[in-house]
């Protein structure tokens, strides 16, 4: 049951990071999404979303590994 909860916790930041990659790709190829007025704002929002999603997933994995004592400080 705990593994299912862990997967569910990781899904949301994973989707956020994926959306960030898509926004950055679309801004790079001059495709403006409907919720952003400028391409640079879309790219910046994508970069922030990707960084936050990756940061959360990395922190979650590091916390689990540290709890199991299998990570070097």
pLDDT digits (tens, 9 = 90+) for 5-24: 888 888 999 999 999 999 99
Specify the pLDDT at position 71: 66
pTM: predicted TM-score of the whole model, two decimal places: 0.82
Q: What is the pLDDT of residue 45?
A: 97
pLDDT at position 19 is 96
Domain ranges of the chain: 2-67
Between CA 29 and CA 22 the distance in angstroms is 11
CB 50 within 8 A of CB 24: yes
Q: Residue 66: pLDDT band by 50, 70, 90 thresholds?
A: confident
pLDDT, residue 37, reads: 95
Which token pair is 4? 């299912």
Give the torsion through C-alpha atoms of 11, 13, 19, 25, to 10 deg. -120
């Amino acid at each position: 049951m705990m593994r299912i909860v862990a997967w569910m916790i990781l899904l949301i930041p994973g989707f956020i990071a994926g959306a960030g990659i898509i926004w950055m790709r679309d801004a790079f190829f001059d495709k403006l999404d409907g919720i952003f007025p400028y391409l640079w704002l879309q790219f910046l929002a994508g970069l922030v979303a990707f960084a936050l999603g990756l940061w959360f997933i990395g922190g979650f994995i590091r916390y689990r590994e540290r709890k199991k004592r299998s990570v070097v400080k």
